[in-house]
Structure 1
Amino acid sequence: MSYNIWAILVAAVANNVIGALWYGKSFFGRTWMREVGLKESDMPTKFPVKPFAAAIVASLVLGVALAWANAAAGSASLLDGVVVGLIVGIGMGAAITAPHYAFAGRSLKLFLIDQGHSILVVVVMSAIIGLWR
């Protein structure tokens, strides 16, 4: 099974751009901070290298996993990639995470913000990979 490394890299970049927007102050950043109990003063004053490094590595791992899932599903179009992304994002990601949030006493609002991001990212990444196989 071969993978298109360019599709994986572009998908990983898309993941991080979406994350920056999604958790930015213009979208869900303030609400997310409130839901996790952070204040503006809790935010790092210098560039947080470790979280961003983790995000980049995770994006690349997710890209490879989605390339495999798209290949296994025989994806050959944007729509095929979207379907694979929805199955992975909702059927696996959100379904696995929901009990963790429930047992930890996290709010439904936080779950929807985090999983909305995860599902969107997985669908976009999978669509890029499915289209660019």
Structure 2
Amino acid sequence: MEMNYLAILVAALSSFLVGFIWYNPKVFGTIWMNEIGMTEEKAKQGNMAKIFGLTFVFALIFAFMIPTITIHQIGAMQLAGGNANDEALIAFLQVHGEKFRSFHHGALHGFIAGLFLALPIVATNALFEQKSWKYILVTAGYWVVVMTVMGAIICGWK
């Protein structure tokens, strides 16, 4: 099973689109800024090339992991030790083929992963940082949506 590098690239870029909408002042941006004590002036002082450049690198790294969460055939390949000629793998693929390779199935797995991976990580850090529940819900919510979108793109785009 080959990686769809274009889907991974688009999935990584989708995190920017979700962030543009999610953190818009008319959506959750104002709440988020208030919860972290950010001002417009302080935000403008950041090195945007560094922030967005590294954000893209991290999104790309993240997107490379999503196929293992959303595509069952990759799990079967892993069970076969990566051996594409493994008889059990071949039998599995003959029976199941591209079953469950859809946008909605990927979105479901992305959502579940966001709920059970991103939310606990964000919430744990936020609790120790003594952040509010508003902060936790806005930040974790962003990651749940991003993982849902990434899962849909990567699983559904064959």
- CA distance in 1 between partners of 2:110 and 2:128 (Å): 26
Match of 1:107 in 2: 132
Give yes or no for contact 2:122–2:139 (8 Å, CA) kept in 1: no
Moved more, 16-25 or 110-119: 16-25
Moved more, 37-46 or 97-106: 37-46
Give yes or no for contact 2:70–2:155 (8 Å, CA) kept in 1: yes
Match of 1:129 in 2: 154
Match of 1:76 in 2: 101
Letter in 2 for 1:122: M
Moved more, 55-64 or 43-52: 43-52
TM-score, normalisation: structure 2: 0.77
1:94 paired with 2:128, answer no
Give yes or no for contact 2:111–2:144 (8 Å, CA) kept in 1: yes
Counting aligned pairs with the same residue, the percent is: 31
The correspondence of residues 1-133 of structure 1 with structure 2, limited to 5 A, is 1-44=1-44, 48-71=48-71, 72=74, 75-133=100-158
Match of 2:86 in 1: none
What whole-Å deviation, never above 9, does each CA across 1:47-80 have from its counterpart, x for those lacking one?
6111101111111111110023223357411122
Alignment size in residue pairs? 133
CA radius of gyration, larger in: 2
TM-score, normalisation: structure 1: 0.90
Structure 2 unaligned spans of 5+: 77-99
Give yes or no for contact 1:73–1:84 (8 Å, CA) kept in 2: no
- CA distance in 2 between partners of 1:5 and 1:18 (Å): 20
**Alignment CA distance shift 1:45-1:37 (3 Å):** closer
